[in-house]
Amino acid sequence: MTRNELIHQIKTKRSFLCVGLDTDIDKIPQHLLDHEDPVFEFNRQIIAATADLCVAYKPNIAFYESRGVAGWKSLQKTWAALPKDCLSIADAKRGDIGNTSKMYAKAFFEQQTSGLGFDAITIAPYMGHDSVKPFLEFSGKWGIVLALTSNAGGLDFQVGRDVNGQQLFEQVIRQTNTWGDVTNLMYVVGATRGEAFATIRKHAPNHFLLVPGVGAQGGSLSEVCKYGMNTDCGLLVNATRSIIYASKGTDFAEKAREEALALQQQMEHELLEKGIIS
Amino acid sequence: MTRNELIHQIKTKRSFLCVGLDTDIDKIPQHLLDHEDPVFEFNRQIIAATADLCVAYKPNIAFYESRGVAGWKSLQKTWAALPKDCLSIADAKRGDIGNTSKMYAKAFFEQQTSGLGFDAITIAPYMGHDSVKPFLEFSGKWGIVLALTSNAGGLDFQVGRDVNGQQLFEQVIRQTNTWGDVTNLMYVVGATRGEAFATIRKHAPNHFLLVPGVGAQGGSLSEVCKYGMNTDCGLLVNATRSIIYASKGTDFAEKAREEALALQQQMEHELLEKGIIS
């Protein structure tokens, strides 16, 4: 999916919601466990209930990999079931030396070899340019680099200042955005880092930001929009647990829709306020 | 495998060699392609030819994941075929927020859920304490944190100095070694960083270091030993391409053994020189 197509989807759906599919077989409703593939059945129903309210889906790969071959099969079926008008993001946080990062890119981008053809993948930047660039060399695909993450450990290394007073996440953004551009590179910035969005926007005014941490993690959507939104929106805000685990009963998909709808309505309000839609 | 068991193996085998199993289906000998699982058959023969010369095996997960379900099956069979007197390392470079890192730990450590029961996993430290600690909470298992990697991009962020003059890889070592200890935590340090081993040993005198970059990447074994070896050896030196792709013919396993033997003999010499064996 291209940048223009993504912006078109945001304006059409009046939403910049990304739904996380971190589906834990121990947390899904009991009645689904009779299905041949309960994780896929859960995802299928969540997708059906939310597809018109969001512009992206983001399965976190750990939840699938932890179940080995069975998990990988659930992931393939889930990817295949994602609507083509939504950006599909493999939240994998990969990164390795050059020839190895290329293998990871094939794993998530090249359907003919791996069975998966995601539009985007999240990338850990610690190993530098030859670990990041291979993900940016696939036409129509996106690399989403971890910049300032939402978790407590995000403050251990990412905000350390160098001798020039630049924090590590700033150095990561400044360097990586010479390796890609606004058409193939995004950044992960946690919603819990409200005030840092202004700093991020100094270094990356036009890039899309993937923003987890709204909902269960406590980030504020209005703060994120205040400091992070640009004239193209420039945000994909992710919610996972607050949506997919809104209910543990047979009404889980319906309750997931209610949560997604509430977020979509807040997002529509923000898009109207900023004049991005009318 | 415990630290004492690992040291015992090093002394018994007179070797601290780790063989990388980054098996690319496009690079293995043609005659193996008739097998039901060519990648596993290649690994099986490499393992049989080298098991008495090395103390660890390290499949890089990208090479398996790039082949989807088929690759995951090859990985499960490979893990099951690893000799129990060798440390099995999943070179996965994972790291995510706490509940997700725990899922990755299950993926590589908990055989009953994923089909894989590796002894160790490599970890990307960018996301900090809650991304690293879940890997250190499994009895008898190891987390191996990226510190100073062998690739060119290792110089992009890892050596940046903070306001106190500490390089990022030093900060990573100093912080992470408060989260684990010498019995469950190692560091990745590239063999191409000879002079930096002295700095590493200031911060982690007793930890084991996993050292890739000897062989195809050009690192020097004698430099690594000069600056990095401690009284327990404290090193696992990895070679991959120079061993597993020593020949593209039907003699690939025999040639792999010759390369592994040459390295083992150099390692025996270093262990004798340092008085670790007699």
Could you report the per-residue pLDDT of B18-45, keeping only the tens digit for each? 999 999 999 999 999 999 999 999 999 9
State whether residue A69 is helix, strand or coil: helix
pLDDT number for residue A217: 73
Catalytic residue chosen out of the listed positions B93, B141, B226, B255: B93
The reply to whether residue A151 touches residue B128, judged by beta carbons under 8 angstroms, is yes
Instruction: Give A124's contacts in chain B (Cβ within 8 Å).
Output: 93, 95, 124, 126-127
Rounded to the nearest integer, the mean pLDDT of chain A is 96
pLDDT beyond 90 at A246:
yes
B226: CB partners within 8 A, 6+ apart: B194, B197
Q: Annotate A172-189 with b (16+ C-beta within 10 A) or e (fewer).
A: bbebbbebbeeebbbbbb
DSSP string, A86-150: SEEEEEEEE--SHHHHHHHHHHHH-HHHHS---SEEEE--TT-HHHHGGGG-STT-EEEEEEE-S
Residues of A in contact with B152 (CB under 8 A): 128-130
Residue A187 clears pLDDT 80, i.e. is over it: yes
Whether B188 and B213 have beta carbons less than 8 Å apart is answered as no
Give ipTM to 2 decimals. Answer: 0.96
User: With respect to CATH, is domain A3-273 assigned 3.20.20.70?
Assistant: yes
pLDDT of residue A215: 73
Contacts of B162 in chain A (CB under 8 A): 160-163
Segment holding B102, helix H or strand E: helix B98-109
pLDDT at residue number A180: 97
Are A131 and B124 within 8 A, CB to CB?
no
Which two structure tokens, joined as six digits, stand for A94? 């990969």
Share of chain B above pLDDT 90, in %: 94
Nearest to B157 among A63, A103, A168 (CB): A168
Which residue of B89, B91, B156 to mutate against A (max A Cβ within 10 Å)? B156
Q: How many CB pairs under 8 A join A and B?
A: 196
Residue A27 confidence (pLDDT) above 80:
yes
